[in-house]
Each structure stands twice: as structure tokens, then as C-alpha cells.
Amino acid sequence: MIDGHWYPKGSALCLHATLTVNDLGRYAIEVEDGTIFRGDVSFLSISARLGNIERKITLENDSTFTTLDNNAIDLLFKDTEKVNAFIHHLETHGKSIFMALIITFFTGFSFFKWGVPYISKKIAHVLPYQTNELISAGSMTFLDKYLFDESNITKDKQDKIREHFKKVLAPLSFNDDTNLHYKIHFRSWEMDGEKIPNALALPSGDIILTDQFIELSSNQEEIDSVILHEMGHVVHRHSLEMLIEGTFITVAVMMISGDGSGVGDMGVGLGSALISSSYSRRHESEADVYAFNKMLIAKIDPASFSAIMNRMTEYMNMNDNDMNKTLNDSEIMDYFSSHPNTKERVKLANHYSECFKEGLTVCK
Amino acid sequence: MEALRFNGSGSEYFKIWIVNILLTIITLGLYYPWAKVRTRRYFYGNTTLSNRNFEYHATGKQLFVGFLIAMIFFIIYSFLGQVNPPLALSFLMIFLVALPWLIWRSLMFNMKVTSFSNVHFSFKGTLGRSYMIFLGYPLLFFIFISLIGMIVSIMIPSLGRSSFMPIVAILLGMGIFTGYLFLIAFLKKNSTEYLMNGSRYGQGKFLTKVETKQFVILLLKSIGLSIVPVAIVSFFAQFMIHSSLLSNAEFTFILIYFIMIFMMMFVMAFYVTREREYVYKNTIFDDKISFSSTLKARSLAWVMLSNFFLIVVTLGFAFPWAKVRVAKLMLANTLVETDNGFDEYLSQKEAEQSALGEQIGDAFDVDVGVAL
């Protein structure tokens, strides 16, 4: 005998009732007011089991019998819906929960670690070249308006660098993408009275060198190494990749937290920031490797890259104290940084430099 | 007065949640609507009042088409947002025009598929009213503001560099702020009444009467309260930057991010609890059943804060416990007058509806802005 309640069709009137089923598959529902409903169990429809929420059995006359005695119901009636029985089985067995946990964890991890970058890379390279121009349209005007000032580098020096680029560096990228046309720009970039040494690349192939960068560089090879690094970004279509990765993260985050009560949403912001800075670090390393390989071909010592990188970092840290340096080199901060640890980059540069000294053009 | 109860548990929901995620992964996301139905059924089914429970009746199949459309729109939107923000903005504009319709559909659908003690809810609010509240009033306000802006910009040359200028600017700024505050309060009042007064349980009607003035006071209090965290954070930020103890920009940023979150949680908890208390107090069902909220800002802030930590520390795996904790707290602090019982209520006949509005609205996180 199963204890429960009985409701008339579409009514909130709630009466105590009991359900019994005999060996012949006939049921009897006895309501407290004396009414008895009898019939064949095959005419009852039973709601699907979920956790321990109240089970609802709908009779032929659309009145309902409800009970919290889920186990008794499961014993009496085989779950009519095979799919639900299977899902409920998954939900109640330690082994499958454990498996689900492991699978979820590793799928989630691999999805963000490898899946998103891989798919984004594929999509970025499948899209027509025009997409690059589409996404950089207006960027130069925007940067000029809000960030950059006119360069103070003499016309003579600018022409010399451009000439050198055309003769030495541009030929290196002939096999990359026939649509690519690089253009070198010189700009001055100041923030809070501090001149910023940097180099940027737009997806369209526009490479911007700041005055302070040119000033810090001690020779042509150092300038070349940085330009090659930027070319690496362009060839690998990193900007486009970032856009697609960003879209993936947004959609994934929506699917994960969309169901939430808004509590977890705030942690999600931090999480996605962590993930995207990890992608950006990967892009930097890729651009580095591109630059090093081209440098070997062009007979430029990859050590010049670490030389200029070190000088730029030192320049930026000039006003900072030791405390900051330890923080900068600490492993925790690595996760939040959009650039790979300088130590790692220098190590790789040195490795390539050794190949260079041995006269190799390919380095493992 | 009797409190609602939540009978589920974090560990039980965890199992349902993890299987939902597993199946969503395996089906490359297609299982999502079914997962959502399971979650809703679990939460509704475990919510009881006088030993009678709620029920969620929608099926995964009903939600599926809407889900697909919503996903496609959402993907287009988030891609556009990264590639071409102005274009994404115009895309959003189209969405805003459709929003009142989505809210209306969503309310009708969700009410209809919800029942308590075997009797269904329904929603009788009109589409026209939805357009008025969620599009008409805001639009009128912004047209009004732009008109003032135009008049002022015409007047500026004649004022010239006179000493009036700063006063005019300050007055204008204050005027816009006050106007905006009133707009928000006015919309809160109207959306709350729209939702509540349109709702039916069986043949019974809900009746809510709230005043714009009370929302203005509440908003002002919350703004006052949120000035405190901003002041504290900017003080610390100054301190951290100038002491050169922690001049690392990223580290400072993360620290500020956390402090800001904690402080804002308190303000949010304050606002939510007070609004809830006010709306419940002024709501009556079928002329005889009254409501009240006993939720304290302190307890809500504590649950939110500890949940945030739990979720961050466990990389999201504590989410089910967090969700159950919120449900338990909210329901335990929702009181309903149950002396008359519910036996007399009967489900009303309803026309069939599609779930299109519901899922599209969900994907874009439509929030009617009522604390329930």
C-alpha cells in the first residue's frame, strides 16, 4: 500500500489517498472521502522519476494521485520511459557520477586548452583573406586619434628601415600568403608622460613601430627580430583567432552560467579573463617561433630578439622597485599575464641562437 | 503565515547537474533544453508550501526550437560584438524592439507550465502594456533628454563664457540624474505591477500596488551605500599605487576586482531584500492571501559571498550546492498566509502556446526585474 494524495482533475483540492496494486495488474485508489477508483495499471500514466520529487500518477479520468514514496512506485511500475530510466540510473549510481565528473572535468579542460584554440585556428584560416581587412578597417584611424602621435623619427631613418624591410624581411614571407602586403608605420606613443617602446601588427599587415622602440634598439637586427615577430602574428592570423576564441568563450560561459542564479556569474568574468590571457600567451610564443625560424634563414642571430626584449622590459621597469620584479617573475602572475614569461622567451631565443651559431637554418 | 520550503539537497542536485552536463557535452549542446527542464523540475518539485508542491511541466521538445533559434542569434551577436561592435549594436537594437514581445511570451509560457498543488498559473498581461513598459516609456524618456540636450546646445552660444555656464552644467547633470532615477523607479513599479497583476493562480488574481516614490527612496539608499565601496576601493587603489608596495598593475587590478565584488554584493543584497520585502508586503492574492519576506540583507550577502568563494575555489563544481543554498534561503524567507487553504482553486483552460519566446529570452538573459 502506497500512501499519498489524490486531486480531482485541475483542482487544488487535496485529499489523503492510498494506492494498492494486486497481482493481476489491477489498481485501487482509496480516497479519504470514501471514493474508490479501480482500473488496469496499463491505463495509468506515471511521471518520470527525478531525484525524490513527488511522483504524479494520472488516472483515466484525469484526476491525479501523488506520492513521495518513489521507491515503492519504481518497484510497482517499470519506468515506462526507457530514456528517463537510463538517465535516472546515471544520476543515482556512484560509478556513473564519478565517470561524469571525470569526463566533464577533462572535456572542459581540453575544450578550453586545446579545442577552442584548435577550432579557432581552423576557422581563422578558412575565412577569406578579406576578413582580415574587415576587422582592421578603421583601426589605424582609431589608434592615431586616441593613442598615437606623429613620429619624431627622421624621414631618412624611416626610409632606411622600410627599404631594409623590403629587401631583407619581406622576401622571407613570400611563401606565407600571397594576399599579404606589409606596411611599416612609425608613431610616437606616450602614456602618462612615459614613452612606450612597442611594436604592433594589425591583421591587414600594417606594422606599427613606436619611436621609443627605435630609440632603444641598438642595431638593425634587433628591429628586424621584432618586425618578424609581428609578421608572425599577421601570418598566423592571431587577431582573427582571438575574435573567434572570444566568441567561443562567451557562448560557453552563457551555456554554463545561463542556468545560474547570478551568483557564479561574477567568478566567470575572472575565469574567462584567465583563459583569454592564456590564449594570448600562446600566440606570443607562436609569433616568437615564427620570428626565430625566419631569422635563421635570414642569418640574423636570434639572440638579438632577447637583447631588445630585455632592454624594453628593463626600460619599462626602470621606475619600479625590487618588490615589483619578484612579483613580475612569480609564477602566479604568469597566469594573468598576456605575454609569456620573459625568462622562457629568452631561453627559447638562446636555443635558436645556438643553432644559428652552428650555421643551421632549421632548429629543433 | 507559513514559510515555503526547499526539500532538495546539494548532493542530490549535484548528481543531476553533472549528468546534465555530461549529456550536454556528449550531444554537443543539443541536450541543453532537456537539461534545463530537469533542473527546473527538480527545483519546482522540491519547493513546497503546506506540503503541497510546485511542478514544472514544460518538455525538452517544447523548448528545443526556441533554443536553436536563440543559439544562432546569440552566436551571431557575440561574433559581431567582437568583429564589428557598431553592427552588433544595431543587431541589439532589433533585439530590443522584439524584447517586449519576448518578455510577454516568456511570461505566458512560464506561468502556464507551472503549477502548484495540481492547479496551473497563467498570465493575462497584454502585449501592448509590455511594449509600453519595456520600450515606450524608456524611448519617451530618451527623446525627452535628447530634446533638452538640443535646446541647451542651442542656448550655449548665447550664454557664452558667462559665469552661468558651470551652474547650467551642474543643474543639467543633476536634472538628468534625477530624471534617470525616476525613470528606473517608474519602470520598476510598472514592470512589477505588470508581472504581478497579470498573474493568475487558477481563478484567483494577484494584486500588487507599489509606488514609484518607494523605489526612488530604495534606489537612492542603494546608491548611497555603493558610494562607500567605491570610496574604499579608490582609497586602497591610491594607496597601493603610490606606496609602490604593489605597483604591479595586474595584481592591483585583481585585488580591486575582488574588493569591488564583495562590496557590490552587499549593496545588491541590500537592494534585493528591501525590494522584495516591499513588493511582498503590498501584494495580495484573491483578496485574502497575503505575503511577506523575512529575508535579511546580511544573510543574503553572506550566502552570495560564500557561494562566490565556493565556486571559484572548486572551479565551478560547487555550483549545485551554491544554487541549493540560495533556493533554501529565499524560500525559507518567503511567507504566505495559508489559513484559508488552497482547495477551492481550479485550473483554467488555456490555449496552446509555443516556447519560442521563452528560450530566446533566456539566451539573452532577459530579466523582467522583479524580485520573487
Ranges of each domain in chain A: 2-79, 124-357
Selected for mutation to probe chain A from B11, B14, B15 (highest A CB count within 10 Å) is B15
Q: Tell me the chain A residues in contact with residue B118 when contact means C-beta distances shorter than 8 Å.
A: 7, 10-12, 14, 64, 66
Q: Render the burial of B64-88: b for 16+ CB within 10 Å, e for the rest.
A: bebbeebbebbbebbbbbbbbeeeb
Are A12 and B326 an interchain contact pair (Cβ–Cβ within 8 Å)?
A: no
pLDDT of residue B245: 47
Q: Pick A97 or B89 by higher pLDDT.
A: A97
Contacts of B117 in chain A (CB under 8 A): 7, 12, 14
CB contact under 8 A, A54 and B45: yes
- Work out the percent of chain A whose per-residue pLDDT is above 70: 87
Q: Which residues of A touch B19 (CB under 8 A)?
A: 87, 90-91, 96-97, 100
Alpha-carbon distance of A5 to A19, in angstroms, equals 9
Does B15 sit within 8 Å of A12, measured CB to CB? no
User: A104–B25: do the CB atoms touch at under 8 Å?
Assistant: yes
For residue B36, give the nearest of A64, A259, A267 by CB distance.
A259
Closest chain B residue to the Cα of A101, Cα to Cα: B18
Per-residue pLDDT, B358: 54
Q: Which of B39, B84, B251 sits opposite A327 (nearest CB)?
A: B251
Nearest CA in chain B to A240: B83
Cβ atoms < 10 Å from Cβ of B347: 18
Q: Average pLDDT in the A89-111 region?
A: 89
pLDDT greater than 70 at residue A322: no
| The pLDDT value given to residue B264 | 81
Q: Please answer yes or no on whether B19 and A11 come within 8 Å at the CB atom.
A: no
Residues of A in contact with B39 (CB under 8 A): 259
pTM of the model: 0.78
pLDDT at B367: 40
Three-state SS sequence of chain B: CEECEECCCHHHHHHHHHHHHHHHHHCCCCCHHHHHHHHHHHHHHCEEECCEEEEECCCHHHHHHHHHHHHHHHHHHHHHHHHCHHHHHHHHHHHHHHHHHHHHHHHHHHHHCEEECCEEEEECCCHHHHHHHHHHHHHHHHHHHHHHHHHHHHHHHHHCCCCHHHHHHHHHHHHHHHHHHHHHHHHHHHHHHHHHHHEEECCEEEEECCCHHHHHHHHHHHHHHHHHHHHHHHHHHHHHHHCCCCCCHHHHHHHHHHHHHHHHHHHHHHHHHHHHHHHHHCEEECCCEEEEECCCHHHHHHHHHHHHHHHHHCCCCCHHHHHHHHHHHHHHCEEECCCCCCCCCECCCCCCCCCHHHHHHHHCCCCCCCCC
B239-273 pLDDT per residue, tens: 655 554 444 555 666 677 777 777 888 888 999 99
The verdict on a CB contact (< 8 Å) between B323 and A327 is: no
Q: How many CB pairs under 8 A join A and B?
A: 170
Tell me what pLDDT residue A309 has: 83
CA distance A51 to chain B (A): 7
- Weakest mean pLDDT among A27-41, A224-238, B140-154: B140-154
Q: What is the mean pLDDT of chain A?
A: 82
Contacts B247 to A, Cβ<8 Å: 320-321, 323-324
Which of chain B's residues have a Cβ under 8 Å away from the Cβ of A101?
18, 317
Name which of A74-83, A248-257, B258-267, B361-370 the model is least confident about. Answer: B361-370
Query: Which CATH number is associated with domain A2-79?
Result: 2.30.29
pLDDT given at position A58: 93
Closest CA relative to residue A305, chosen from A195, A218, A234, A200: A218
Nearest to A107 among B25, B120, B362 (CB): B25
Mean pLDDT of A178-206: 84
Among A16, A237, A54, A278, smallest CA distance to A132 is for: A237
Q: What is the pLDDT of residue B71?
A: 79
Residues of A in contact with B16 (CB under 8 A): 50-51, 91
Q: Average pLDDT in the A232-250 region?
A: 85
Q: Collapse the DSSP code of A199 into the 3-class scheme (helix H, G, I; strand E, B; otherwise coil) and give the result.
A: strand
The segments of chain B whose pLDDT lies below 70 read 82-84, 157-163, 236-254, 350-372
Residue B61: predicted pLDDT? 84
Average pLDDT over residues A60-78: 89
Residue A239's pLDDT is 85
